[in-house]
Amino acid sequence: MLNGFVIKDRVSPSIEGIKALTGLPTSIVCDVTGRMVGAEGLHPVNKSSVSACGNAVTVKVRSGDNLMIHLALRMLQPGDVLVVDAEGDLSRALFGEIMMSVAKSKGAVAAVINGAIRDVDAFEEAKFPCWAKGINLRGPYKEGPGSLNVPVTIGGMLIHPGDIVLGDSDGVVAFSPKEALEIAKLGKEKVAQEQATLKSIQQGTYNDSWIDAVLKQKGC
């Protein structure tokens, strides 16, 4: 670390893992991983439905400053998700239309900002998925310090550079590429189970006897 700056190389993506997780609902993925994974307090800024899955390029910044995000934009490659930890600070927007346009031009598939953004309508017009903690019209400083491609915490969820980030209209989850194939397998099984349940509701054969079993176990 030099004067508070840490700059590390981008981690290459797990193409196989990204492909396996793409399209799975984040709620399903959360369920099959113990219902403990997921960024709290971040929501999509897009008005229409969003879905993205890609390779985490991480940035750690100080409150109200986006210098290192600009540097991260240089590193972005197709399939990347820009992940920014501003510790949830909402005093200034760190990401807006110009930076989003640069990210999209580099082939990035989404941005996750643990802080504030602005130019919200531009994200919708560009169909560029973005999850953020909030919105603020006030712009940032560009002084630093900060870090690139280091572990960051987004809404209570730890994300390492090179992790797979999956997001949709419900929120954002992230996993190590080493876990991706197993999570995808469990997720697809869960999707099939829920589709069967929905079909039983439509057919009038839904079975909720599990409620009685739980209550009996509780001594009721």
What one-character-per-residue DSSP string does 115-183 give?
EEE--HHHHHHHT--EEEEEE-SSPPB----EEESS-EEETTEEE-TT-EEEEETTEEEEE-HHHHHHH
Overall average pLDDT of the 42-52 stretch = 96
Mean pLDDT of the chain: 97
Q: For position 2, what pLDDT does the model report?
A: 65
The pLDDT tens digits for 161-217 are 999 999 999 999 999 999 999 999 999 999 999 999 999 999 999 999 999 999 999
CATH H superfamily, domain 5-192: Ribonuclease E inhibitor RraA/RraA-like (3.50.30.40)
Nearest to 168 by CA among 24, 30, 55: 24
The pLDDT tens digits for 4-23 are 899 999 999 999 999 999 99
Give the three-state DSSP class for 5.
Answer: strand
Q: For position 126, what pLDDT does the model report?
A: 97
The pLDDT tens digits for 89-148 are 999 999 999 999 999 999 999 999 999 999 999 999 999 999 999 999 999 999 999 999
Q: For position 3, what pLDDT does the model report?
A: 86
CA 76, CA 95: separation in Å to the nearest integer? Answer: 15
**Is pLDDT of 159 > 80?**
yes
Nearest to 86 by CA among 50, 62, 106, 117: 62
From its phi and psi, is residue 163 left (phi > 0), alpha (psi between -120 and 50) or beta?
Answer: beta
CA 9, CA 3: separation in Å to the nearest integer? Answer: 18
Neighbours of 206 (CB within 10 A): 11
CA 16, CA 180: separation in Å to the nearest integer? Answer: 9
Tell me whether the omega of the peptide bond preceding residue 44 falls within 30 degrees of 0, making it cis: no
Does the reported pTM lie above 0.85?
yes
> Is the CB of residue 181 less than 8 Å from the CB of residue 16?
yes
Q: For position 121, what pLDDT does the model report?
A: 97
